[in-house]
Every structure is written in structure tokens, then in C-alpha cells.
Structure 1
Amino acid sequence: MSKLVFANKISDLVKSSKSLYQHASVVLLGSLPNRCQLCQHRIEQLDYQQLFPRQVLSGICQACLAASLYQHEVCLGCGCSIPQLQAYCGKCLKHTPMLVIAPCSYHQGLGPLIAAIKYQQQCAPLNAITQQLAIRVSQLIEHKLIRAPQVLIPVPLHPNRLRQRGFNQAWLIAHRLSKLLNIPIDDTCLTRVVDTVPQAELSGKQRRENCHNAFQLSKAVSYQRVALIDDVVTTGTTVDEIARLFSQQFTYVQTWCLARAEAPGLLD
């Protein structure tokens, strides 16, 4: 037997073993106790693995997930309800704000789960919600309402906050999106240089002051298009501050997040 034939057989054996291992992992995970964090019912896989092969739905059942997603189109600028799929509402067309893409509203079901990911390390539903974000992004790209970015950039934490929390939820989201959409991550070009207080505790004016000059680019960037990745966008203060830095490098910025916390009344 030649060395080439032997090497090919070994390679096939490794691939086969890896496939069997992945299949066994899915079967095992699917058999473990797995309840929805919203309705507390057991999560049934049903046709989920047909949509996402070798993935186990966890943390949220399909019924609660479907009910929590946007049931109508929303403006990618302000987040208000609009009658058809398009980028902006009439008001936002006048000044074309930064695009913010999310699969759902923070206020309509998934807010507690997304908050628990950040503050309680309850990451079970992270994959399922990120997959819905990837589907939303793919839909908008297919309809030519957005252009695919060249790179994903997770909103960074200050080193002090990272040590305290133990992980950056934005990086986890970006890592999963990178695999789903085949877009690379760059987590080296942007740093947080000010250890700001949590934005959730602040008013709109305080948020702007809190984030002013809180970030810096650690190197010159050559990207024409980037997507900032975060868990939630509320007033947009954080991503606007980062976008200002990239605009100085003539880089187009859009934001992708798990949920958008719109201003009251926009979805009525």
C-alpha cells in the first residue's frame, strides 16, 4: 500500500470518527433534561435539526422562540413597524441612520433570556437566538437591503469588566455568527479604554457622556464594510461612538444584535 493511499484511508477514518462523535453528541444532548426558560415545558427537537443539522435546541422551545420574533417588518433605522420589507421608514429615509439588524424586540419576550446570558451566565438559549439573527441577516442580504460585511467586530469589554464577568457575550455571538455565515472575526482592532459604568443604569444623556471616547482603534483598518456585534441595542450610543471611529477610516458600519430595545410605542 502506497503512503498516499494509507494517508487517505487514515483521513477518511478520522472524518468518519468525527462524524460519529458529532452524531452521538447530538443524540446525548437531545436526551438530557432540557426545559424552556420561558414556559418551563420540555423542549422537543421536532424538525429543528433539519434546519440546523447536528444542533440541539436548548434554553427556549420552538413555540416561545417563534412567538418572540418580529411578527412584522421593522425599520432598520429607528425600529418602528413598517408595512413591507425595506431598509428605512419614511422618516429615517431623510437622514439614513446606521442600520441595526435584530431578529426580535427586547421588550416582546426574549429580554429576560438575553439579560440572563450577560448577567447570570445562562447561555443555553444563545445559539438559538443567534441562529435567528443569522437568518435575518441572510434574508436582508438576499433582498439586497444590506451588503455582507467583510468582518465581524464584537463590541469589546474593558479588561476589568472582562475579568469580572469571565466572558464577553458579544464575542460569543460573533463567534457563532462567523461559523453560520462564514464571515471572519476581528477582535483585535477595537479596544475599550475606559471602564464605563453599565449603560442600563443611565439616561440617554448620561449614556452619551459615559461612552464618549471610551473606545479606540488599536490599528489602522483597511475594511470597507464591518458589522459590529452586540447583544442588545437600546439608544445606540455605544455603537454610534464606535462607528464614529470607523468613519474616520472611511469604513461603513452596520450593527447586528440579538434584540433591539426600541423606544416606547414604536411597535404599537
Structure 2
Amino acid sequence: MQSFLNLFLKPNCPLCGRSAHNVICIDCDRQISACKSRNFYQNQKSEINLFAWGVYDGSLKQAIATCKFENHPELSIPLGIKIGELWNQDLIAQNLIKEVQIKIGIKRANLKVVPIPMHPEKLKSRGFNQAELLAKSFCQMTEIAIAPQILQRVKNTKAQIDTKSIQERQDNLNAAFRVDSKFKNQSISVILFDDIYTTGATINEAIATLKSANIKVIAVVVLATPRFKEIPSKRFS
């Protein structure tokens, strides 16, 4: 992990400019940690097994924006580690893996983490896919294999924030993804991974694309989601 960290290590905290030992300074790390969600398992989204580390607000929102739009990919390392640490500690997450292994008989080698891909043109412009970098740190912590090559983005969609209606969001993402042909019908189960979950339109389109290739999505893991109204905890199906 330290060698992976050293690839991006910079002397100062990219969020405040103060000295930092491990990418983010102590004060900024505390502020980001204060954004941690009360519930890792977001049970109010019952149609999927959604896990979100934090609330998309405050210092966490700033960190995501700084990573993506101010060219600080190194921020993805400590943020991805936080998600991985929580996944390893969370009973619902660990029980989900056990139940899936029993119910559908998957082997750990057939479980992959698939980050939401960027279109090649956007990837070239930004220089990195923040979801993939977050997922790499997550996978370092959880020892689940990452497989970004499974899902490809073939439509250069505009940002969902720039759409004005539900229909426009759906049209924007229609046929946006495809599965690499060599992964179709291969008894693979995946954990979809992204930086932010808002309306769910991107995730739902990715799930539908993977499902069409007989790839089962057992969970969605994200760094942050907007604050939803809390409801009593319940078990996933």
C-alpha cells in the first residue's frame, strides 16, 4: 500500500496547503471523517444493495471536487482506503458476501469490483478516472480483484447535473455502456463502484447493461451520497 501511495505523494495537503504526511493533513482528515454516514448500508434504496461511506456535503464534497476538477488524483488513495476499511468492518457487507457465495455458489475469484467507466474522450481530458482510483485503494484493502475492463463507456454523455428532467437523464444514459465480449456469460458477480450516488440513473443503466451479459451486480459501493431521510434498518433481500 505504501508503494502505491508513493506514486502520488505530494508534500502539502491539496485541500488546505498545509504539510501532510499521508496526502491529507490531520485537520482535513478529521473534517472529512466527520462526513461519515451513520449507516454504511443505505437501506432506503431497497432495489439495490447500496453502501455509501459518507454524506455528499461539506469537506467530503470539497475533497471530491478537488480530486476531479483541480487535478488531485492522489486524494483518491486515502478516500478509497476509508471505504475499504469500513467494508472490512461492516457486518452487513461481510454477510452479503457470505450469502451470495452460498446462494449462487460464486467463488471469491469470480467476484470483481467494476468502477463506473469514463468515456475515452473525457478520460483523456481529465487524465484519470476517479472512480477507478478509489476502487483500486478499496481493492487493496479488501483483497477483492478490480476489473475495470469488464464495463466500457461507449457514449460520451454530458454530466447528469446538466440534465433538466428525469426523461433527459434517462435519454442521456441510454446505451451509454457495453460489456467487453470476453466477459459475457462467464459466471461473474460484481460490485459496482463509483464516487457519488445521486439519482441512481448512471448506476441503474450500468446494472442493466451488466445484467444483459448475465453478470450479477451484488452491491453498489460509493464514496458519498446526498443525505436521505433515515428510516429503520432492514435486511436486504
Q: How many residue pairs were aligned?
A: 211
Distance of 1:182 and 1:195 partners within structure 2: 32
Return the letter of the residue paired with 1:198: A
Counterpart of 1:139? 89
Counterpart of 2:15? 37
Give me the TM-score of the superposition, normalised by structure 2.
0.76
Return the letter of the residue paired with 1:153: V
Match of 2:223, SS state, is strand
**What are the Cα deviations for residues 175-216 of structure 1, in whole angstroms up to 9, with x where unaligned?**
222222111111222111111111122245122221111111
Return the letter of the residue paired with 1:251: K
Return the letter of the residue paired with 2:68: K
The alpha-carbon deviation at position 108 of structure 1 amounts to 4.1
Residues 207, 244 of structure 1: alpha-carbon distance in 2 compared, 3 angstrom cutoff: same
Residues 57, 166 of structure 1: alpha-carbon distance in 2 compared, 3 angstrom cutoff: closer
Return the letter of the residue paired with 2:179: L
Return the letter of the residue paired with 1:37: L
Asked if 1:129 is matched to 2:72, the reply is: no
Residues 59, 99 of structure 1: alpha-carbon distance in 2 compared, 3 angstrom cutoff: farther
Aligned runs of 1:72-151 on 2, under 5 Å? 72-73=38-39, 75-78=41-44, 96-141=46-91, 144-147=94-97, 150-151=111-112
Counterpart of 2:35? 68
The alpha-carbon deviation at position 124 of structure 1 amounts to 3.8
The alpha-carbon deviation at position 226 of structure 1 amounts to 0.7
Which ranges in structure 2 are unaligned for 5 or more consecutive residues?
99-107, 232-237
Distance of 2:118 and 2:51 partners within structure 1: 21
Counterpart of 1:235? 199
Distance of 1:139 and 1:101 partners within structure 2: 13
Distance of 1:152 and 1:191 partners within structure 2: 14
Give me the TM-score of the superposition, normalised by structure 1.
0.68
Within the candidate set 139, 155, 160, 2:121 is matched to 160
The alpha-carbon deviation at position 42 of structure 1 amounts to 4.7
Distance of 1:218 and 1:251 partners within structure 2: 15
- The answer to whether the 8 A contact 1:59-1:125 is kept is no
- The answer to whether the 8 A contact 2:76-2:130 is kept is no
Higher relative contact order (Cα pairs below 8 Å, separated by 6+ residues): 2
Which ranges in structure 1 are unaligned for 5 or more consecutive residues?
1-20, 46-55, 79-91
The alpha-carbon deviation at position 261 of structure 1 amounts to 2.4
Asked if 1:172 is matched to 2:150, the reply is: no
Return the letter of the residue paired with 2:130: Q
The alpha-carbon deviation at position 166 of structure 1 amounts to 1.4
Residues 73, 222 of structure 1: alpha-carbon distance in 2 compared, 3 angstrom cutoff: same
Within the candidate set 196, 209, 212, 2:174 is matched to 212
Aligned runs of 1:178-193 on 2, under 5 Å? 178-193=139-154
Counterpart of 2:235? none
